[in-house]
Chains A and B, each alone.
Chain A
């Protein structure tokens, strides 16, 4: 499963507005619901996770990976993407403020490794991440991701499912 496949157009919000981190996660949850990956319960589970364990989901400067665990609220594995027009604070000492929240839903623990590898590549690539953050429309964002995805494939990451 590639990153572009896991991220339908309906699951992407660009130039979005959120008053705080809860609202930002809610937008990411709405995207997962709109893309058919989860039910509304999962959105609440993602917020509960941060309330219980802290802002550990803010794993890179300006980036949060909102998620909970496999549950009946997960219909299928998928992602959502929210770029915020104004960044919000999650309380992360190292990586605040956050301007991109990706929502992740997975039906099991390893069916989404391929798309996670691509996502890690996209977030870790500063120039690409800046372009994704500033994309004006969901169409533009997906186009950037597709272009980056095919470039990454050429650069040879190990194929999905292979154990090194």
Chain B
């Protein structure tokens, strides 16, 4: 499974979200490939991914993609990420 984390520049918030998503997935025992992307490349990358994680401000920018777009409010909260991923995976 492929998961994309998206931020504006691809160096800051998406990297942070990627690390916490990996931590959450380890906790869930799910094997997934998590990739950080900037908003410019996210639309293309999202075509081959099952799940996109991003903030409320950027979710609209990603637009219509086949992947499930999940909005994360607190990027440092592994519990929020875990529960939203659990819901998306079920």
Are B76 and A49 in contact (CB-based, < 8 A)? no
Considering only CB atoms and an 8 Å cut-off, how many residues of chain B contact the other chain? 29
Question: Is A36 among interface residues, defined by CB-CB distance under 8 A?
Answer: no
Question: Is A154 among interface residues, defined by CB-CB distance under 8 A?
Answer: no
> What A residues does B36 contact at CB under 8 A?
109
**In whole Å, how far is B76's beta carbon from the nearest beta carbon of chain A?**
4
**Assembly CA distance A55 to B51 (angstroms):** 23
Considering only CB atoms and an 8 Å cut-off, how many residues of chain A contact the other chain? 33
Are B11 and A109 in contact (CB-based, < 8 A)? yes
Question: Is B19 among interface residues, defined by CB-CB distance under 8 A?
Answer: yes
Question: Is B55 among interface residues, defined by CB-CB distance under 8 A?
Answer: yes
> What B residues does A104 contact at CB under 8 A?
11-12
> What B residues does A150 contact at CB under 8 A?
none
Question: Is A65 among interface residues, defined by CB-CB distance under 8 A?
Answer: yes
**Assembly CA distance A93 to B78 (angstroms):** 20
Taking CB as reference atom, which chain A residue is nearest B40?
A69
**Assembly CA distance A94 to B75 (angstroms):** 11
- Which of A9-17, A111-119, A130-138 interfaces with chain B? A111-119
Taking CB as reference atom, which chain B residue is nearest A119?
B16
**In whole Å, how far is B16's beta carbon from the nearest beta carbon of chain A?**
5
Taking CB as reference atom, which chain A residue is nearest B59?
A56
> What B residues does A93 contact at CB under 8 A?
56
Chain A: residues with CB nearer than 8 A to chain B? 49, 52-57, 59-61, 63, 65, 67-70, 92-95, 104, 106, 109-110, 112-113, 116-117, 119-120, 123-124, 164
- 9 pairs, CB–CB < 8 Å, chain A vs chain B: A56-B57, A59-B16, A63-B76, A68-B9, A104-B12, A116-B12, A116-B16, A119-B16, A120-B19
